[in-house]
Amino acid sequence: MAGLPRTLDFLPPRVHTAPMLKNVAAVVLDGVHPFELGVVCEVFGLDRSDEGLPVYDFAVVSAEGPTLSTHVPGFTVSTPHRLDRLEAADLVVVPAGTTYAVRGFPPGLLDALCGAVERGARVLSVCSGVFTLGAAGLLDGRRCAVHWQHADELARQFPRAVVEPDVLYVDEDPVITSAGTAAGIDACLHIVRKEQGPEVANSIARRMVVPPHRDGGQAQYVERPLPRSQCDTVGEVLVWMGRHLDEEVTVEQLAARAHMSPRTFARRFQQETGTTPYRWLLRQRVLLAQELLEGSDETVDFIADRTGFGTAAALRHQFVRSLGTTPHAYRRTFRGPRAA
């Protein structure tokens, strides 16, 4: 539905009774990303009691010694807390780290994460922190989110996980996973909203100067370069299609340009591009619409006509289906409110 964040928190949750959210621990390893760690600290680590907001018993926990490196040269993180601090946590958060997708993890950390879930706590990953949850076996049979650049690797390493590459976060209570960087804010606010209501979550969001909800999902942020055919059978037709996105064409017309029967053309097109002519054309039209919304002041009606959708309503429909957000919201996101 347009205007709502593309998440999977509407899925029927597993039977799980979480304790009241009071005690939060962020557990980090060497290579932690300061921004993702900072997101967790900002939501759960600040005292906002002067505004009547809850104060969490918050700690940063090290899984690998008192001082940890970050992915920023010369920037280290020190904390006195060790893994035993996780035993008191209602929520354990694993922020992203540079090497989390390829490294091994301390057995004590994996056992601590599993133990937290077994005693009723929740665990939350931000971006590549999800690889830690996967190594602990907490993604098996669960849907999960990760930055779109890591989606294929996550699915390869943990085939029993159901990777959702287009959403901002997934709530499979007691395991919550979020996509890249700022999606950690969305997931943290979601947990606050779920446990302590929208008023508390909205107040924290206002203090952070971020929206309590974001329109769309990851799809609107994914780079979509023009697909290249591995063969040259339909290459010339692809070039022609890319130059005539505003025209209505049929498979019969495209097949005639390639000097093939429609059936042969459709089969070759699928083999060389991995999709059908209609879906390829639709994807390129949406891509062109994105470029025009970002880089021009043309109206949505003009862009709809230029991209072959015909009407603003048709453009909006396909835009929401493909990217999970509207053309106007997309333009505001990438050009600011004045452009819209």
- Judge if the upstream peptide bond of residue 174 is cis by omega within 30 degrees of 0: yes
Per-residue pLDDT of the chain (340 residues; tens, 9 = 90+): 334 444 444 444 443 444 589 999 999 999 999 999 999 999 999 999 999 999 999 999 999 988 998 989 889 999 999 999 999 999 999 999 988 888 889 889 999 999 999 999 999 999 999 999 999 999 999 999 999 889 999 999 999 999 988 778 888 999 999 988 788 998 999 899 888 887 888 889 888 888 766 655 555 555 444 444 444 678 788 888 888 898 989 999 999 998 999 999 998 888 877 788 998 899 889 888 888 887 788 999 999 999 999 999 999 999 888 888 899 988 887 765 554 4
Residue 314, φ and ψ in degrees, nearest 5: -65, -40
Domain ranges (residues) in the chain:
23-217, 235-335
- The packing angle between helices 183-196 and 198-208, to 10°, is 150
Rounded CA separation 171/158 (Å): 18
Strand-pairing partners, residue 263, are: none
For the entire predicted model, the pTM comes to 0.64
Rounded CA separation 276/137 (Å): 37
Domain 23-217 has CATH 3.40.50.300: no
Can you tell me whether residue 334 is helix, strand or coil?
A: helix
* Domain covering 235-335, topology: Arc Repressor Mutant, subunit A (1.10.10)
Number of Cβ within a 10 Å radius of residue 338 = 6
CB 26 within 8 A of CB 48: no
Rounded CA separation 160/140 (Å): 5
